[in-house]
Amino acid sequence: MVRSIWGSKKCTACVDACPARAITGAEWSRGIARRELLDAVACNRHLLETTQSLGRRQTCGICVRVCLVGKGSFA
């Protein structure tokens, strides 16, 4: 049985916080394609337009910072 991490709730913290508007808001499930969850091109484009390169791939991390599931406080 697959159970939603959200239960009956729907969180949009990462969607709302993403400056690139790259996160779709679709709920993750095993086998879902990345493109259904995230517009990686938009994310990367925003990063390249707004930050200096550190010589390696990086992300802004705003979505991770605001994620309630990752903080364990969404229950």
pLDDT tens, residue by residue, 10-60: 788 999 999 999 999 998 889 999 999 999 999 989 888 887 665 566 678
- pTM of structure: 0.72
Domain edges within the chain:
13-71
pLDDT at 60: 84
Q: How many CA atoms lie within 13 A of 55 on its CB side?
A: 0
pLDDT at 17: 95
CB-based contact 13:67 (threshold 8 Å)? yes
Q: Assess whether pLDDT exceeds 70 at residue 3.
A: no
pLDDT at 5: 57
